[in-house]
Structure formats: structure tokens, C-alpha cells
Amino acid sequence: MLRFLTSGESHGKGLISTIEGFPAQVPVDVDFINADLRRRMGGYGRGLRMKIESDQVDIFAGVRNGETLGSPIAFIIHNRDWVNWTEVMSVEPNPEGVRKRQVTRPRPGHADLVGALKYQFKDMRNVLERSSARETASRVAVGAFCKLLLRELGIQVYSHVISIRKVRISDELLDTVSVDLIPQIESSELRCCDPALDESMKATVDDAIDRGDTIGGTFEVRAAGVPPGLGSHVHWDRKLDGRLAQALMSINAIKAVETGSGLDQAPMGSKFHDEIFYDDEKREFYRKTNRAGGIEGGTSNGQEVIVRAVVKPIATLKRPLMSVNLHTKEPFKAQYERSDTCVVPAAGVIGEAMVAIVLVQAIQEKFGGDNLSELQNNLESFRERVRAM
């Protein structure tokens, strides 16, 4: 089954990833992968780092003549900013470089202090270089490989922004979101499906920039075409919604995750749950609503999978909060590192990647298959058995 590892520091030479257990014969569209990396770098409210980098995958192994081989896939995303950090991030001993750009004032909301306490570091740059959201570029690329596989299985993963701070799309519009809105979503700098909200969302971001502050919001990831039967009710660690929640919570700045309308406590039970119907012509069960987000009992039910995530305001502030010097224990303003003002649109792209990764793992768990053809045949055979029930 698919698993992956990422390595690399924010200002190191690059980000290196290895994907193991990926099926053979999957067509690899490098332009598609690079387009997802560009989407991650976009969005209104991003910082200067996005103007420096130009993320692209450099595939080293696991792909030949445009198809995966079934062997481990290895790739690197080069950091263009590395040329400005060669002394500070030197692999070889470099005492002069170590003294430059040291981080001794931990930033509230970051891993700086807890990482230093855990690993006994005197310079918290050793922590922030890896805890940086720069690492998520690797995950987006891994997720793009997974999207290419899902595409061959008739599954499409996409995302959109529900809110930026207090500016939120209506519940009525939220109920109508579908793959048909993807062009509209991607044409918006906020990645919002309601064009009428673009200016008010931008104004909210601009106000935070003027204040030297940051803002958060909420995004939604959807997966259309997911078959029933992914995940399971029989063990806690096999439940699909639990696995998706963990994957999304692993993204920097995510503080809460919702499956479907899980956080809406207003409706009574009779209005909350999705009634079940049967279509004789299509020979399939269906529901007219999707408040469960396509998952019941930890298992996909054949409807669109819907998960939402809450992004906190970025913790790196131009007007830093109070902190304490790690060495002297004296009070100081926290150290400022180059940062964004709002990352909600980009976080949605990262969320897509994590959802795609979990879905591929669940599909492999259910249907097996060492190559694409075998996986496709197993999935179609299962769909036929479901229709014959």
C-alpha cells in the first residue's frame, strides 16, 4: 500500500520525496503535477517567498516513458532561495554560518520552543527549517501523483474556500458546489466559488496587511466519483473519516476538521441524516442530501466525500507577540521570519493532496492491484457486484 516520506529544510538545497507502493502503468503528467505546485504558491495574501520560488518536480526514479514502474518514485523540488542561505544551512561544519540568523526568541504558535525543548537545541532555526509549511510542497506533489491515479479511476478531488475570517459563502451556495464550478473557483485569487465575495475577501486580507496581522478561514475538499466501501466500521484506525481528519490535521495551521455538516448542531436528528432511496433503473442506492459528507460508519457510501478544515491565522506576525529569549530568559518581542498574511486558498490545495493520498491508500486496501489495469478491473468488478445486490 502507498506510503511516502518527505525530507528537506525550508532554506536547504531542496525537498526530497519518495513514494513507495504506487501501482505500475499509471500515466504521469508532469505538467499536471507542476500546475498543482503553482496552485499551492498562489492565492491572495501570500508572502515574498512565493515570488522567489518556482516549484517544479525533478523526477529521479520510478517513472519511465511517461508511466510509473511500480518501483519507488523519487523526486526533488529545488529551493531557489538556497543560494542566499548556503552559509547558514551548510551541511559541513561552518561556525560563522551557524552564528548568522540564529533564532533564540521563540514565536508563539510555532514549533520553535517545543522543538528546542524536545531536541535540546540552542538555535531554534534547527526546528523552524523543518516545521515550516515549505514542506507541504512535497505533499502537494505526492498528492498530484495520487490524483493522476484517481483520475484513471473516475475520481476527481477539488477544493474551494468557504470563508476568509468573517466573510463566508452562503449555505445555499455551499449546497450547490460541484465539479462544474471548478473553473470558477480556479479563476478566483481567493479560490472562492462566489465571485461576489472576491472584493470583500480581498479587503479583509488588505486590512490585515495594513495592521501587520494575519487572518485565517475555512476551506472544503471534495472528492467526486468515490465508490462505496472505502474504509471500515470494524476497527478505529480503519475508519475513513478518522484517517481523513488525521491527514488534514497534519497540515500546518489546521486547527479543526469537519466531515460533511458535522459541526452544525442546529438541526434535529430527523433533519440531519440523509434518507436512503433506491433507483431501479440504475440499480443503486442514493440519497437526496449529503450532510454525512459521503461517509457513514467510517465507510464511504458512494456520495461525494466532503471534508472541511479550519485554518488558524498564521503565527508569524510583523508585529510580534511577547516571548522569552531562550538563552537569557529575558522578555523580548518574538523573532520575525518572512511570512504570509493569509494562506487559506493555498491550504485548500494542500488539503486536496492529503485527501487524494488517503483515498488512494483506502482504494488499494480495498481493491489491491499491482498495476493500473488490475486495479481498474477490480474496482469495476466490485461496482457490478454492488449493482447486483
pLDDT tens digits, 246-258 = 999 999 999 999 9
Cα separation, 143 vs 92, in Å, equals 33
What is the reported pLDDT for 99?
86
For residue 102, the domain's CATH number is: 3.60.150.10
What is the reported pLDDT for 48?
63
What is the reported pLDDT for 49?
63
The total domain count for the chain is 1
What is the reported pLDDT for 338?
66
Cα separation, 20 vs 17, in Å, equals 10
Cα separation, 293 vs 222, in Å, equals 9
- Nearest in space to 57 (alpha carbons), one of 38, 70, 72, 43: 38
Predicted confidence band of residue 340 (pLDDT cuts 50, 70, 90): confident
pLDDT at 279 over 80: yes
Identify whether the C-beta of residue 218 lies closer than 8 Å to the C-beta of residue 161: yes
Mean pLDDT along residues 160-177: 95
Q: At what angle do helices 344-367 and 136-152 cross, to 10 degrees?
A: 50
pLDDT at 379 over 90: yes
pLDDT tens-digit readout, 172-226:
999 999 999 999 999 999 999 999 999 999 999 999 999 889 999 999 999 999 9
Mean pLDDT along residues 97-105: 89
This prediction's pTM: 0.95
Share the mean pLDDT of the chain.
Answer: 94
For the record, the C-alpha cell of 183 comes out as 473553473
What is the reported pLDDT for 320?
82
Phi, psi of 321 (to 5 degrees): -80, 170
Predicted confidence band of residue 51 (pLDDT cuts 50, 70, 90): low
Pairwise pLDDT comparison (351 vs 318), residue with the higher score: 351
Cα separation, 353 vs 244, in Å, equals 11
Cα separation, 376 vs 29, in Å, equals 19
Pairwise pLDDT comparison (47 vs 5), residue with the higher score: 5
Structural domain including 184 reads 3-387
Triad 306, 310, 313: Cα angle to 5° = 155
Cα separation, 256 vs 182, in Å, equals 24
Lowest-confidence range among 91-100, 152-161, 193-202? 91-100
pLDDT at 368 over 70: yes
Strands 305-311 and 254-259: antiparallel
